[in-house]
Amino acid sequence: MLRFFLSRVATAVPAFFIIVALAFFLMRLAPGGPFDTERALDPEIAKNLRHIYRLDLPLMQQFWLYLQSLAHGELGPSLHWRDFTVSELFAKALPISAALGAKAMLVAIIAGTALGLVGAMSKVRIGPHAVDGAAIFGIVLPIFVVAPLLQLGLGLTLHVLPVGGWNDGAWQNQVLPVTTLALPQIAIVARLMQAALIDALAMPHIRTLRAFGMPGYHIYVHALRAAFAPVVSYLGLAAGNVLTGSVVVETIFGIPGMGRYFVDGALGRDYTLVMGTVIVVAAAVLLFNLIVDLILAWLDPRVRYDSRPR
Amino acid sequence: MDAAAKPLLRVRDLRVSYGPASVVKGVSFTLRRGETAAIAGESGSGKTQTVLAALGLLPRQAVTTGLVIFEDTELLALSRRRLDALLGRRIAMVFQEPMSSLDPLFTVGAQIRAILRLKAGLSRRAAKARAKELLDLAGISEPGRRVHSYPHELSGGQRQRVAIAMAIACNPDLLIADEPTTALDVTVAARILELLAKLKQIFGMAMIFISHDLGLVRRIADSVHVMREGEIVEAGSAADVAANPRHEYTRMMLAAMPRAREHVRMETPVLLRAQNIGVRFSLRGGLLSGAREVKAVDGVSLCLGQGRTLGLVGESGSGKSTLARALLKLVPASGMLNFGGRDLTRLDRAAMRPLRRSMQLVSQDPYGSLSPLMRIGDIVTEGLRVHEPAMSRSAREARAALALEEVLLDPRLRFRFPHELSGGQRQRVAIARAMILKPRLVVLDEPTSALDRAVQIGILALLEDLQEAHSLTYVFISHDLAVIRAVADEIAVMKDGRIIEQGPAREIVERPHAPYTRALIAAALQTGET
């Protein structure tokens, strides 16, 4: 298991490095710069600014300097919000986004699993189809449609929940964004769970348990363990989906999370801010996938062997 | 009346149907305490459905009627809860496929302990100790270490021993074994049978033994019930049924492979000559362990005359399939290879391509080797499209029809898909696909192993006719000595990648030298061959 863990970390590190390099150079390839404004800046001032932020150095040297500061945990000063460093900006925004994403994932796992279980266990023939059909709605409806609908219904018409804002993370303000973010994930997890569970329940080793007259809960423990593998594999992808979804959700609900830095940073050519978000997102996705791999290996002993390169 | 004389299990007019299709049509039999009854029949005869129905293990769509009386209890009338209380405790089952009948995600120890705790009511600690005892009883060496193993870390025979250990965990009165040895090599199967016989003695269990192999059944069972198409067509004591089979179907099942065919010892020109063939697979190690190498085939030399059949026999993992692929240059191998007077050793893939049509392969699995997405006609003519690209569509159609006729299939089948065909039909399609290119050498890798005996005999006869008509040369691979003896002019016995014995078929079977060959023959005899 230790070897498995180390080999997965060993592949994650170069992946992280490649992402950082790609983001750095692609951003510089895009036309325009951080100090371009409607009116042309005085050339002297622009030159000065570029010098202060060391944007006049050769690109490779800039990259090297950036990696050095990154090694010290420094994400550099923001080029747009000039009084803040990127780290300072993130210190406020990241916990909000992380809380939002984590809650959405948690809701998706719990509700999705429960729905899938209900569908697979249902004695009526229509049961699994009902779950599938409902799930299709969750998958098809885009976040930017669901969010305003929820705002309209629960916020403006029924007045039970606030339409937007963060309000220091009061639970009333979190319900709608978390629901919006979780809904498509619940649907996908439910479908995966139901299909995997129906397959698992038809496996010969489950028939063995039935032939031994084992109690129902015991049979479901075995079937669930087999069924969790595809669901857990998907969760790695889901982490990425939730992150991109959060950009939209945070914008619609006016939440001061990481989402707006994605957009503002990219549009304003705020190199350091963009790099900062890329690094945080990449690290989060890589970490989550590492966790997913470890859970998969724990669930299925064969993964620890099969994953070895041939 | 004392308990010993009372029947343990009575089945009366058991019927199973799925919608309009009935698969078990009124089966009745009685089993005494300590008796071993066999239900014999070919695949699809309803033998497994019968026992699964009796224990209420069929899926919900199945409709079961009749009486199943275990001691004084009517099983079909019991609630799920009451039935579950009997299952595992008083009645236990061993299934055919030991890989898939154990949960791959739990250690074997955990699976045995679960039964001990939930069914026998043992404490965690007692279950732990008893699990080891059971593994030991089932003949697993180092049970203390093996309890921590996962099923994929065990061999087929060991897995089946674990399944048996689970079955005897609660000291049942009735053990139902559904083809417990079919998926195993003959020498392993023989040991599993010995184990079952021994445990039956120790625990005084009654046993229902399901098998397609009447020869095997005769050795282990007291009484036999021969099933065909959902009905028992013949029943009686095992010795009786074997000695005087009354029903034609029983006689057909008992008919062993045709005796070794008497070949005229002709000197024919050599078609295939292989010298010192070696195939290595390297298993790259992980971060901490170095690379390992496995010699799948190790220094094998062969010489095969035109129109003759070489039988390659050995157990799974002995390297026979790898050798066959090396002979066709489908895996990289060392050594020298000569085909029809041409040295193939240095030919690369492109240079091999024109030669491919005269060297064909028919593989074991008639389910996996035909693409489920293609029509039979397209499958059969695929090779023609590569080797005779100029051929018109209608000419190919005609050739496909001819090829199917040659393997005694209805030419209209070419518009069907593989899943619509039976196992035997599929294997005929696979043969037609090889024959359409008019090859000189055909490598047959276990072509009959997945088939019932009667179907096997048909395929073997077909292969023999084709060989005579086209003076084909066969390399025939099988783990089944009876099949090999029926078809081969020469036999080579493989073990651990080497040929340990080689010679004319008759001599090998009648006067084997190597101890391993003798064990193989003894095992084949014990599991049904006479």
CATH number at residue A127: 1.10.3720.10
Taking the Cβ of residue A1 and every Cβ of chain B, the question of whether any pair is shorter than 8 Å is answered with no
pLDDT at B180: 85
Is the model's pLDDT at B530 over the cut of 50?
no
* Within a domain: A64: no
Last residue in a domain, options B201, B224, B254: B254
Taking the Cβ of residue A205 and every Cβ of chain B, the question of whether any pair is shorter than 8 Å is answered with yes
Co-location of B444 and B303 in the same domain: yes
With CA atoms as reference, report the closest residue to B50 among B12, B83, B105: B12
pLDDT at B176: 92
For chain A, the average pLDDT equals 82
Taking the Cβ of residue A121 and every Cβ of chain B, the question of whether any pair is shorter than 8 Å is answered with no
Residue of A nearest to B105 (CA): A300
pLDDT at A310: 34
The CA distance from B294 to the nearest CA of chain A, in Å, is: 13
Co-location of B133 and B146 in the same domain: yes
pLDDT at A110: 93
pLDDT interval class at B4 (50, 70, 90): low
CB atoms within 10 A of CB B332: 9
Is the model's pLDDT at B327 over the cut of 70?
yes
Q: Tell me the pLDDT tens digit for each residue of B383-419.
A: 888 888 888 888 888 888 888 888 888 888 888 888 8
Is the model's pLDDT at A307 over the cut of 50?
no
With CA atoms as reference, report the closest residue to B452 among B423, B481, B430, B420: B423
Co-location of B241 and B155 in the same domain: yes
Taking the Cβ of residue A2 and every Cβ of chain B, the question of whether any pair is shorter than 8 Å is answered with no
Number of domains in chain B: 3
pLDDT interval class at A43 (50, 70, 90): confident
Is the model's pLDDT at A103 over the cut of 70?
yes
With CA atoms as reference, report the closest residue to B311 among B472, B505, B471: B505
pLDDT at B518: 84
pLDDT interval class at B110 (50, 70, 90): very high
Bridge partner list, B281: B294
Taking the Cβ of residue B166 and every Cβ of chain A, the question of whether any pair is shorter than 8 Å is answered with yes
Q: Is A137 helix (H, G, I), strand (E, B) or coil?
A: helix
Distances (CA, A) of B213 to B39, B150, B178, B255: 10, 30, 12, 11
Co-location of B97 and B209 in the same domain: yes
Task: Phi first, then psi: give them for residue B39, nearest 5 degrees.
Answer: -110, 115
Taking the Cβ of residue A214 and every Cβ of chain B, the question of whether any pair is shorter than 8 Å is answered with yes
Last residue in a domain, options B198, B219, B254: B254
pLDDT interval class at A300 (50, 70, 90): confident
Number of domains in chain A: 1
Amino acid at site B438: K
pLDDT at B260: 53
Q: A-chain residues within 8 Å CB-CB of B95? A: 204, 207-208, 211
Q: For residues A94 and B149, what is the distance between their CA atoms, to the nearest angstrom?
A: 44
Is B118 close to A300, i.e. CB distance below 8 A?
A: no
Residue of A nearest to B288 (CA): A3
pLDDT interval class at A96 (50, 70, 90): confident
Co-location of B350 and B382 in the same domain: no
Cβ atoms of residues B297 and B337 within 8 Å: no
Structural domain boundaries, residue A127: 86-306
* Within a domain: B194: yes
Cβ atoms of residues B56 and B70 within 8 Å: no
For chain B, the average pLDDT equals 83
In the predicted model, what is the mean pLDDT of residues B109-132?
90
The CA distance from B130 to the nearest CA of chain A, in Å, is: 17
In the predicted model, what is the mean pLDDT of residues B432-461?
84
pLDDT at B113: 92
| Range list of β-strands (E), B349-404 | 359-362
Q: For residues B334 and B345, what is the distance between their CA atoms, to the nearest angstrom?
A: 8
* Within a domain: A231: yes
In the predicted model, what is the mean pLDDT of residues B185-211?
86
Lowest mean pLDDT of A160-169, A179-188, B388-397, B460-469, name the range. A160-169
Co-location of B110 and B221 in the same domain: yes
Which has more pLDDT, B528 or B47?
A: B47
Q: A-chain residues within 8 Å CB-CB of B102? A: 205, 208
* Within a domain: A107: yes
How far apart are the two ends of chain A, measured CA to CA in Å? 18
Lowest mean pLDDT of A18-22, B134-138, B456-460, name the range. B456-460
Is the model's pLDDT at B2 over the cut of 60?
no
Residue of B nearest to A201 (CA): B59
The CA distance from B174 to the nearest CA of chain A, in Å, is: 12
Is A310 close to B87, i.e. CB distance below 8 A?
A: no
Taking the Cβ of residue B239 and every Cβ of chain A, the question of whether any pair is shorter than 8 Å is answered with no
Taking the Cβ of residue A125 and every Cβ of chain B, the question of whether any pair is shorter than 8 Å is answered with no
Which has more pLDDT, B201 or B264?
A: B201
Taking the Cβ of residue A72 and every Cβ of chain B, the question of whether any pair is shorter than 8 Å is answered with no
In the predicted model, what is the mean pLDDT of residues A148-170?
78
Is the model's pLDDT at A165 over the cut of 80?
no
Q: Indicate the Cα dihedral angle B333, B334, B338, B339, nearest 10°.
A: 0
In the predicted model, what is the mean pLDDT of residues A95-120?
89
Is the model's pLDDT at A230 over the cut of 60?
yes
In the predicted model, what is the mean pLDDT of residues B501-522?
83
Which residues, other chains included, contact B106 with Cβ-Cβ below 8 Å and sequence gap of 6+?
A: A222, A225, B114, B150
Is the model's pLDDT at A107 over the cut of 60?
yes
pLDDT interval class at A308 (50, 70, 90): very low
Is B88 close to A225, i.e. CB distance below 8 A?
A: no
Structural domain boundaries, residue B132: 34-45+80-254
Q: Tell me the pLDDT tens digit for each residue of B412-441.
A: 888 888 888 877 888 888 888 888 888 889
Which has more pLDDT, A47 or B3?
A: A47
pLDDT at A31: 75
Residue of B nearest to A307 (CA): B286
Q: Tell me the pLDDT tens digit for each residue of B5-22.
A: 678 899 999 998 888 888
* Within a domain: A177: yes
A159 class by beta-carbon count within 10 Å (0-12 exposed, 13-18 middle, 19+ buried):
exposed
Co-location of B343 and B277 in the same domain: yes
* Within a domain: B28: no
Of all residues in chain A, what percent carry a pLDDT higher than 70?
95
Co-location of B156 and B240 in the same domain: yes
The CA distance from A204 to the nearest CA of chain B, in Å, is: 5
- What CATH number is attached to the domain comprising B449? 3.40.50.300
Q: B-chain residues within 8 Å CB-CB of A301? A: 104-105, 150, 152
pLDDT interval class at A111 (50, 70, 90): very high
Co-location of B211 and B297 in the same domain: no
Q: B-chain residues within 8 Å CB-CB of A205? A: 100-104
Q: Tell me the pLDDT tens digit for each residue of B236-273.
A: 888 888 788 888 888 877 765 555 555 555 667 888 88
Is the model's pLDDT at A42 over the cut of 60?
yes
Q: Is B320 helix (H, G, I), strand (E, B) or coil?
A: helix
Q: For residues B51 and B209, what is the distance between their CA atoms, to the nearest angstrom?
A: 10
Q: Which two tokens stand for residue A147?
A: 């969010």
Last residue in a domain, options B254, B282, B307: B254
Of all residues in chain B, what percent carry a pLDDT higher than 70?
93
| Range list of β-strands (E), B314-468 | 334-339, 342-343, 359-362, 441-445
The CA distance from A233 to the nearest CA of chain B, in Å, is: 16
Tokens 């035109």, located at residue: B306
Which has more pLDDT, B32 or A259?
A: B32
pLDDT interval class at A97 (50, 70, 90): confident
Co-location of B182 and B154 in the same domain: yes
Q: For residues A119 and A199, what is the distance between their CA atoms, to the nearest angstrom?
A: 13
